[in-house]
Chains A and B, each alone.
Chain A
Amino acid sequence: MTALALDLPLPREGLSRRFSDALYARRGLLLTLLLVPPLLWLGVVYVGSLVALLLQSFFSIDEFSGTIVREFTLKTYAELLAPANLDVILRTILIAACVTLASGVLAFPVAYYAARYARGRLKAAFYLAVMMPLWSSYLVKVYAWKLLLAREGAVAWTAERVGATPAVDALLALPVIGGPSLSVSYLGQFLVFIYLWLPFMILPIQAALERVPGSLIEASADLGAAPGQTFRTVILPLAMPGLAAGSIFTFSLTLGDYILPQIIGPSTLLIGQTVYVLQGTAGNIPLAAAFAVVPIVVMALYLTAAKRLGAFDAF
């Protein structure tokens, strides 16, 4: 047996093996090599521009000349509280909250099925179905939805064929969320937002549920819990980190989006559009920066609240 082992040739000494030796001897080196580029990117380019943005929001604009006054002031933030601006902020937060909530409710059963029951080919089909919409262009999808939801679009046409036009009209007649057609109403905007961000909700929930061993669900039943009780006391708490992660995506993506509300929904502005208009045509960089800070603050508050409520306790 020893003779056999001795006859085996040694691996050929090459450059890569010698390089591995050097890294093996100095473990820190590999870590440095791996981490420096992304840290440079994140630390300098990303955080740097964020700080620059924050600084801009503490400047103000001279009302007569329209030039930026580079002096520290909270005047721009006070401007956010003007009724018109506050309206934009609250409306955006409300829409984002509704989209997040609805995405969570829609995504959970899909994620649960995929995590607990789908196996093999079915699971592959699930991933494909969830990811496929992400492969096509955002703009194409939004314009496609505009056509689908338009007054003469596929949705209205189908509703007419199945005799559901009165139902659609009743929906559109609702105050605030209704409108002349789905494509120019908050309802339509809400639907398309959900369509766009649903994969970002499904995948984290599915990943969280995937980590829940089946024996926990059996143990819960064994201890007397009916399926509904097991859902509330075991499955939901353990899925919470996934729900929290998914909601971070859907919430922040909706808060910052400026293209979809331009194409679908009423003519009123959301935060993203306001930033776009302010830094472009209006040339009011400080106010645009102050508006851009709003989603950051909202997300920070949201995460703090989620942590307080124990959303991240499970793992």
Chain B
Amino acid sequence: MSVHAPRPQAAAAAHPLASPRDCAVGFSGVARHFGAVRAVDGVDLEVRAGEFFAMLGPSGSGKTTCLRLIAGFEQPDAGEIRIFGEPVAGIPPYRRAVNTVFQDYALFPHLDVIGNVAYGLRIRGVARAERERLAREALALVKLVGFDHRRPAQLSGGQRQRVALARALVNRPKVLLLDEPLGALDLKLREEMQVELKSLQRALGLTFVFVTHDQGEALSMSDRVAVFDHGRIVQVGTPEEVYERPRNRFVAAFVGGSNVLEPDAAARFGGPPRVASLRPEAIAVRPPGEPAGEGRVALDGTCLEVQYQGASRRVIADCAGLRLAALVPAASLRDLRPGEPLRLSWSPASLHPMEDER
């Protein structure tokens, strides 16, 4: 049951670009190998000017190497990279109009906040008074006021993050590269920064390329997401496209932990005989024997685990050897315990057929 796999760029080609100038970053056939490890293995992608583009994938999937290739810290072994239409092969990082927010922030420990933010301007030879004014402006933009003369060591993680952001933004980069910038922050701060980053990007109209392994972050912030696996892009699309219509098992499982049904199971439960994904929130959980509703597929099973997640409850059930996860509102099923029988049901339309790459 193998379906011919369309080339990864198919999704990008569906939205043709008006001109090469609209393409902020373009990869064609880019590869980067470290010894026998194919960190980036033939990547084609187009980041459009002014969009918030997320590179999503587990660690070691090649997303950070792609970012480093754009920044110029790595050179591709094959393929071509263009930044606003210009090929950048052999151009060192200090000649590229992109700036990076590093995962560990990489703030200069011997400089204070102003010194860090003004660093790029100092290198460009901007006079002290002018560059400090611009640095303060950038700090105001990221809402970090009153810490001008602190050293990085005297700042909290969230404050350092803002300094790193201001230090990159003050140079007015054509593309801002963010390497898991929120990874080290606690949940509340991370959610705050997600909102701020997004509104900053919208206000400045800048192109953001954002690397993350957090699917929630990628879905909530970006205009488009590229899902990476083993050095390749598996799928590119809007968050809705990627979440609702995953291309294969990997995307289905990685983006949102979808259930994957084998072709025979999919055929039995209302879909075409192809590997299919079934979103946990599309599954309803009821007491055994209760009617599922018209046109719905019903399946009896046993509850294995109930995870309380605040707003929702995740129920893992075993239905005659088929393990399924369902996501239900937390207010329901308060008394469900592991080992108890239950009935799962869903609409056949919720089954999304995918490509079988195994």
* Residues on A facing B (Cβ under 8 Å): 213, 215-216, 218-226, 229, 233-234, 237-238, 313-315
Contact = CB atoms under 8 A, between A and B. Distances in A.
Nearest to B170: A223
A314 B108 CA distance: 9
A222 B170 CA distance: 13
Given A219-B100, A225-B123, A314 B109 contact: yes
Interface string B165-197: 001100100000000000000000000000000
B61 interface: no
B93 A221 contact: yes
B94 A219 contact: no
Contacts of A238: 109-110
A256 to B, nearest CB: 32
B106 A215 contact: yes
Contacts of B93: 218, 221-222
B167 A223 contact: yes
A225 B171 CA distance: 12
Interface string B79-102: 000000000000011100011101
Interface in B132-167: 167
B308 interface: no
B106 A213 contact: yes
Contacts of A215: 102-104, 106
B110 A223 contact: no
B71 interface: yes
A226 B109 contact: no
B124 interface: yes
In the A-B complex, list the 9 residue pairs whose CB atoms are closest, starting with the nearest. Answer: A223-B120, A219-B106, A215-B106, A221-B93, A314-B110, A224-B123, A225-B123, A221-B94, A222-B100
13 contacts: A213-B104, A219-B100, A219-B107, A222-B93, A222-B99, A223-B119, A225-B119, A225-B123, A233-B122, A233-B123, A237-B110, A314-B109, A314-B110
Given A213-B104, A216-B108, A224-B124, 16 more contacts: A213-B106, A215-B102, A215-B104, A215-B106, A218-B73, A218-B100, A220-B119, A221-B93, A222-B94, A223-B168, A223-B171, A224-B171, A226-B94, A234-B108, A237-B110, A314-B109
Contacts of B71: 218, 222
Interface residues of B, number: 25
Nearest to B167: A223
Considering residues B94, B99, B107, B119, which has the most beta carbons from chain A within 10 angstroms of its beta carbon? Answer: B94
A237 B103 CA distance: 23
B106 A218 contact: yes
A81 to B, nearest CB: 40
Contacts of B171: 223-224
Interface in B41-75: 71-73
Nearest to A229: B123
A315 B94 CA distance: 26
Considering residues A215, A229, A238, which has the most beta carbons from chain B within 10 angstroms of its beta carbon? Answer: A215
A63 to B, nearest CB: 55
A238 B110 CA distance: 7
Given A222-B71, A224-B94, A315 B109 contact: yes
Contacts of B103: 215
Contacts of A221: 72-73, 92-94
B123 A216 contact: no
B303 to A, nearest CB: 22
Given A216-B106, A314-B110, A223 B99 contact: yes
Given A218-B93, A223-B120, A224-B171, A313 B110 contact: yes
Nearest to B179: A215
A238 B103 CA distance: 21
